[in-house]
Amino acid sequence: MTLLAIEGLSVRFRLRDATVRAVSDTTLTVRRGELLAVVGESGCGKSVLAHALFGLLPGNARVTGRAVLDGVDVLSCGEKRLAGEIRGRRLGLVPQSPATALTPVRTGRALLTETLRAHRRDPALAERIAADAGLDPADLDRYPFQLSGGMAQRLVTALALATDPPLLIADEPTTGLDRPLVDHTLDLLRRRCDAGGAVLLITHDLAAAERVADTVAVMYASRIVEHRPARQVFGNPAHPYTAALLDALPDRAFRPIPGDPPMLTALPAGCAFAARCARVTAACAELPTGPVACHHPLLSEAAA
């Protein structure tokens, strides 16, 4: 059953002398029980996509398209409904930057218990939720400035879990964590999906996505260029960018992608990866579309 349906979502930031095309014509679905990972290089638009769903973009942002969550278009429902019905209740967020998300004058325990009370849940759940997120209950009595980066990351994860939302958006939730805690956090997200919830995981950690994702959407220069089951993406990548991204991993070819991504203020009319691609032809001057947005996919059956 589809929980979130994103159709043609685009985000533009208007600057004085340019327009940043941060997200372009994105269409995705997240189903109950599914973990969808959105992966790609830094600056490709992954976090902007998440913030658009929460209505947390600055005033110079222009958002178009639809994003229907459990029957409500979160892009057009208005701030009052977002604040009263959506944020924290139907849609949870693990933010990318815990240091800017935590109230500095509240301990972790105060933040958790206040969140639980606001959502009519038992405040006594605070320590259990903290432990589920990998946080020592004793650390709940510390203020955010007394926490390490990894501890702060675990605290914002616990806060997102406290409201038990049907859909959780986790934006780089493993930042600052050592490998055992990375695995702990990923397994926690996976269990939520196995229990009937859903997770949209935003990450540049391809190993993390491979470990837990059902479906992977690969983002490049504001667009989704490949959207397929995870086992297919990691086993037989179809888009040249996906293959190059995987080949850059240390446990694979460890080969960097040549060149640089285009500026989001000057995207080409056709394929944005063409300038870095060995398979480029004249056809690439036209914008490719589909679950594998490439005129010359590595696997012709994948494009179909």
The pLDDT of residue 304 is 45
Residue 263 in contact with residue 189, Cβ under 8 Å?
A: no
Burial of 165 from C-beta contacts in 10 A (0-12 / 13-18 / 19+): buried
Please give the structure tokens belonging to residue 46: 């992954």
Instruction: For the chain, list residues with pLDDT below 70.
Output: 300-304
The pLDDT of residue 299 is 78
The pLDDT of residue 116 is 97
Identify the three-state secondary structure at position 182: helix
Identify the three-state secondary structure at position 30: strand
> What confidence tens digit (pLDDT) does each residue in 169-220 have?
999 999 889 999 999 999 999 999 999 999 999 999 999 999 999 999 999 9
From the CA atom positions of the chain, what is the Rg in Å? Answer: 20
Domains of the chain: 2-90+165-303 (3.40.50.300), 104-164 (no CATH)
Q: Of the candidates 192, 264, 289, 281, which has an alpha carbon nearest to the alpha carbon of residue 40?
A: 264
The pLDDT of residue 300 is 53
* Maximal CA-CA distance, the chain: 63
The pLDDT of residue 80 is 97
CA distances from 7 to 16, 91, 152, 197, 291 (A): 29, 18, 34, 21, 14
| Whole-structure pTM value | 0.95
Q: Which stretches of the chain are DSSP H helices? A: 46-54, 79-81, 98-101, 108-118, 126-132, 149-162, 179-194, 206-212, 230-235, 240-247, 300-303
The pLDDT of residue 302 is 45
Please give the structure tokens belonging to residue 236: 């037989």
The beta-carbon contacts of 300-303 under 8 Å, at least 24 apart in sequence, are 302/228, 302/232, 302/236, 302/238, 303/238
